Amino acid sequence: MTKQIAAVNTQALVGSFTQTELETLKGTIARGTSDEQFALFVQTCASSGLNPFLNQIYCITYNGKNGPVMSIQIAVEGIVALAKKNPNYKGFIASEVKENDEFEIDVVTGEPLHKIKTLVRGKTIGAYCVAYRTDAPNIAVIITNDQVDHLLKGRNGDMWKDFYDDMIVKHAIKRAFKRQFGIEVAENEADHGETAANTAPYERRDITADVDTERMRLEPEQLAEYDANKMKEIESEAVTTAASQVNEMVIVQGEIVRAFRTLGVTKKEDQTAEIAMRFPPKKDKHTLAELKGILKTLQLEVDEMNDGLDPIE
């Protein structure tokens, strides 16, 4: 029995992936990636806890202005998976709305009334998503056709044309979860397609990044110096990114203080207590994403107060 357990453990190379699973990823979802690109993709999957076999995360490749580009992207399924890790996650509802449906929504409470009166529903005119959490107001997002027209002409236009209902609902989910949980996903990420299951098998992944082709042209004795220089570049970029994040956190924290003051919570100790009670951090300290989520919630309460409404508890 001991030998069998040891054999299984040696297969778990990165995160929970076995050697067989890594080989499957390399030959399918990440086909065409270099060893370095594949390592980055697998490490990202492992560190984020997202599963590429469940279409939660994937890499796509396309031609950029300066040549081929590989992008690691989080699908809507991944966004929902990340939100579920929040202890205050309470679910969501989302649907497309068609022209013959009966639909209304209370934008303050975030509660929709959606009735299908006939099976002849007509054309899709929009979609909505309501994201719930136990410690904050409901967040309702409504997307109308005119807001996504540009996506039908983008890089992923064929997906939008062929699977319009699915795509517009996913777009509403992404927006709602971004506002409710502070999960940031760049607009262009969703535009490439948010479910790998509907794409032609691996047709967008057959490239190698410029940096790898450059390395392949070097002589063996040049590789050590090349790799050392690239490592310095990566470290420098990491330091710059970290400094930028710290600066952004300071700005967001200042905005949170201003929002509290507008709501009448002026003492620092009261603000700290309110945050600890309503918005406890997932770990030891709040992340930038969590701070952005707190700020958005407070801004909603400020807007409601300015409209003559009491903030939602």
Q: Secondary structure of the chain in the HEC alphabet? A: CHHHHHHHHHHCCECCECHHHHHHHHHCCCCCCCHHHHHHHHHHHHHHCCCHHHCCEEEEEEEECCEEEEEEEECHHHHHHHHHCCCCEEEEEEEEEECCCEEEEECCCCEEEEECCCCCCCCEEEEEEEEEECCCCCEEEEEEHHHCHHHHHCCCHHHHHHCHHHHHHHHHHHHHHHHHHCCCCCHHHHHCCCCHHHCCCCCCCCCCCHHHHHHHCCCHHHHHHHHHHHHHHHHHHHHHHHHHHHHHHHHHHHHHHHHHHHCCCCCHHHHHHHHHHHCCCCCCCCCHHHHHHHHHHHHHHHHHHHCCCCCCC
Q: What is the pLDDT of residue 7?
A: 36
- In this prediction, residue 312 has a pLDDT band, given cuts at 50, 70 and 90, of very low
Res 123 pLDDT > 60: yes
Q: Is the pLDDT score of 183 beyond 50? A: yes
* Average pLDDT of the segment spanning 223-228: 63
Tell me how many degrees the CA angle 187-191-194 measures, rounded to the nearest 5.
Answer: 105
**Stretch among 8-17, 76-85, 171-180 having the lowest mean pLDDT:** 8-17
Q: What are phi and psi of 23, to 5 degrees?
A: -65, -35
Q: Residue 252 to residues 137, 225, 266, 270: CA-CA distances in angstroms?
A: 20, 41, 17, 18
Q: Is the pLDDT of residue 171 over 80?
A: yes
* 308 vs 193: which has the higher pLDDT: 308
pLDDT score of 298 more than 80: yes
Residue 209: CB atoms within 10 A of its CB come to 17
Percentage of the chain modeled with pLDDT above 70: 68
Instruction: Determine the average pLDDT of the residues in 153-172.
Output: 85
pTM listed for this prediction: 0.52
Q: Which is more confident, 223 or 295? A: 295
Q: How confident is the model at residue 227 (pLDDT cuts 50, 70, 90)?
A: low
Pairing of strands 111-115, 124-133: unpaired
Residue 235 has a pLDDT of: 56
Look at 40 and 227; give whichever has higher pLDDT: 40
Of 35-49, 61-75, 99-113, which range is least confident?
A: 61-75
Say what the pLDDT of residue 280 is.
85
Q: Is residue 69 over pLDDT 70?
A: no
Report the pLDDT averaged over residues 171-197. Answer: 63
Residue 21 has pLDDT above 90, yes or no: no
CB 51 within 8 A of CB 75: no
Which pLDDT band holds residue 273 (cuts at 50, 70, 90)?
Answer: confident
For the ranges 46-55, 113-122, 238-247, 289-298, which has the lowest average pLDDT? 238-247
Q: Is the pLDDT of residue 202 over 60?
A: no
Q: What mean pLDDT do residues 219-225 have? A: 61
pLDDT at 212 over 60: no
